[in-house]
Amino acid sequence: MDIHQQLGPPAQAKSDHLATTKPQDAKPRLLLMGLRRSGKSSIASVVFHKMPPNETLFLESTTRIQKDSIHSFMDFQVWDFPGQLEYLEPSFDLEDIFGSLGALVWVIDAQDDYLDSVARLNRTILTVQQYYPNINIEVFIHKVDGLSDEYRTDTFQDIVQRISDELSDAGYENAPVHYYLTSIYDYSVFEAFSKVIQKLIPNLSTLENLINTLANNCGFEKTYLFDVLSKIYIASDTRPVDMSCYEMCSDYIDVIVDVSELYSWDHPDRKPKGDQIQEAESHVVLHDETMIHLMEMNKYLCLVSVIRNPEAKEKKGLIDMNCLGSNMRTQIKQTNHRHNLSLSSQGREAEH
């Protein structure tokens, strides 16, 4: 799971090679980069390994590149880089690091002096974009839970301005950089990773259109298509994100997963009576008559919706009919198939 290699000749001598080659078994790769103690390993542990945020205080500083393979609706890799690693040195092969890049996630500690981090990020962008001009650059302005609202806003604006100005001065106008305020102590880091992952999904707009139609037909206030393992949502309807809705849906997934683990054991002598529905389906009505409805799409994904309507319980039949009768599962299969075809074609191009 760990690698730390010195590879190949200087990157500057290989621009043509870098622009055309890609590993045949390439999976989208998310690179977590930033200075030491910025919170990269904590983010990866909380989002992808379900570690409680308080336990990240005991994580040791990363000394080697940590490679995690995430097997879900869309397989991808997460590489956690130690802050002291000089990956832009000629002794490192840029193709080996950035060749299958889905996104570069740069983590900045908002509670620390961030000038060095901004400078190093800009050096990285200016070097890498020469060979990979379509790279997605995602900046997590992290640890904002300890900042006041006013200071948080000022810090965000200052970092954005510094990065933009330095790149512009270097001749790189309108760089594709996106910014997020994050913390592991709330759901902001999951929201940020959701936005990052969505950019890697083929035909995302088709999924969103289906979810919009479903939400309108059923009167959903908000609908998310969640990855069950990480609780990242890979698509949603186009209504503005309400963090309270997101938190309720995310917590409800935890409840259903915990209950399923308790009661889903298959007894060897138990025989099914008649046709069995394999996908889970559940709903709960809260004290304010808000209903949360969950329907499993496949073993990786579930559709979770929020309905704020006094008559929500009366709409259960309509909801089931629309969810089961929609093309959602078919479209999910097609999207995953197209994603695999895309990776296969990239591998064939690399061979030539």
Residues 70 and 177 in one domain: yes
> Where would I find the H helices in 62-144?
94-98, 115-128
Residues 52 and 194 in one domain: yes
Residues 335 and 213 in one domain: yes
Last residue of a domain, one of 178, 200, 222: 200
> Is position 339 within any domain?
yes
Specify the number of domains making up the chain: 2
What are the φ and ψ backbone dihedral angles of 196, each rounded to 5 degrees? -65, -50
Last residue of a domain, one of 145, 172, 200: 200
pLDDT in tens, the chain (352 residues): 333 333 333 333 344 444 434 444 457 889 999 999 999 999 999 999 989 999 999 988 888 999 999 888 788 899 999 998 888 888 888 888 888 788 999 999 999 999 999 999 999 999 998 888 888 899 999 999 989 999 999 999 999 999 999 999 998 888 889 999 999 999 999 999 999 999 988 788 888 998 998 888 888 899 999 999 889 999 999 998 888 889 999 999 988 888 876 665 555 555 555 444 456 788 888 888 888 999 888 888 999 999 887 776 777 777 777 776 556 667 677 666 555 544 444 444 444 4
- Which amino acid does the sequence have at 54? N
Query: Which residues, at least 6 apart from 66, have a Cβ–Cβ distance to it below 8 Å?
Result: 1, 2, 41, 44, 79, 80
Q: Give me the CATH number covering residue 163.
A: 3.40.50.300
Residues 66 and 166 in one domain: yes
Last residue of a domain, one of 200, 216, 236: 200
pTM across the whole model: 0.82
What domain range includes position 170?
29-200
Which has the closest alpha carbon to 198: 232, 237, 231?
A: 232
Residues 208 and 328 in one domain: yes
Residues 38 and 88 in one domain: yes
